[in-house]
Amino acid sequence: MMRIDVITIFPDLIRDVLKYSIPRRAIDAGLIDVLAHDLRDHADDKHKTIDDTPYGGGAGMIFKPEPIARAIETLPAGGRVIFLTPQGRLLTQSVANELSLSDHLVLLCGHYRGIDERVRENYVDDEISIGDYVLSGGELPALILIDALIRLIPGAIGNAESALEDSFQNGLLDCAWYTRPREFEGLTVPEALLSGDHKKVAQWRRDNARQRTLERRPDLLE
């Protein structure tokens, strides 16, 4: 069973989102254990202070190193510590595939201006970004990463083939999909999908996925 520990100042945000859909079912089934830890519990003053102004001046606040270090040290040893930051490597399907093989991940959610650099040097094993933009904190990126990982755990999705056919798994975007009715507002389902010929269906889906990738994300074909 995979274990994911999330260090955050908003643990309820993590817990609340994971109460729904596939993540909830995977947790209830014992396929994954996600634990949210309040960073403020590891502060050393009565005000539970976890941030301070930056040396050298400048706007924003910085997470202090001591609470983060204590939070990580209270967890079982051996977990891969991942800091969610725009400066990290981009979260792609291949990265999700790689991380899904881990037994234990520790996700560190920053806030404000960032975290003390010495924490990154001494405790962080990996840094992940979900895109070239800045959010208020690392909680949403952490949840996105968790959701991407849960989909890859055997048994989390009713039909395992569904995850294997997702966009990016084979380097292409997913093909177009149709369901009933056969005609909707003058638009009909492609004949190949109605043929009952599995080879024709598979070929149509491959061709459509490649065409869609060429039109929308040609960089994936380079």
List the CATH number of the domain containing 211. 1.10.1270.20
* Residues 113, 205 share a domain: no
Cis peptide, bond prior to residue 181, ω within 30 of zero: yes
* Residues 90, 142 share a domain: yes
C-alpha closest to that of 208 among 172, 168, 158: 172
Q: Find the length of the chain.
A: 222
Number of separate domains in the chain: 2
**Residue 27 belongs to a domain:** yes
* Residues 94, 183 share a domain: no
**Residue 108 belongs to a domain:** yes
* Residues 169, 192 share a domain: yes
Buried (b) or exposed (e) across 83-92, using 16+ Cβ within 10 A? Answer: bbbbebeebe
Range of the domain at 115: 2-150
* Residues 86, 11 share a domain: yes
**Residue 157 belongs to a domain:** no
Q: How far apart are CA 45 and CA 43, in angstroms?
A: 6
> Residue 170 to residues 62, 97, 166, 173, 218: CA-CA distances in angstroms?
40, 12, 8, 8, 14
| Domain C-terminal end among 150, 185, 200 | 150
C-alpha closest to that of 121 among 73, 69, 53: 69
**Residue 192 belongs to a domain:** yes
pTM tops 0.85, yes or no: yes
Please list the pLDDT of the chain residue by residue as tens digits (222 residues): 999 999 999 999 999 999 999 999 999 999 999 999 999 999 999 999 999 999 999 999 999 999 999 999 999 999 999 999 999 999 999 999 999 999 999 999 998 889 999 999 999 999 999 999 999 999 999 999 999 999 999 999 875 555 555 656 778 999 999 999 999 999 999 999 999 999 999 999 999 999 999 999 999 998
Q: How far apart are CA 150 and CA 157, in angstroms?
A: 9
Name beta bridge partners: 127. 83
**Residue 155 belongs to a domain:** no
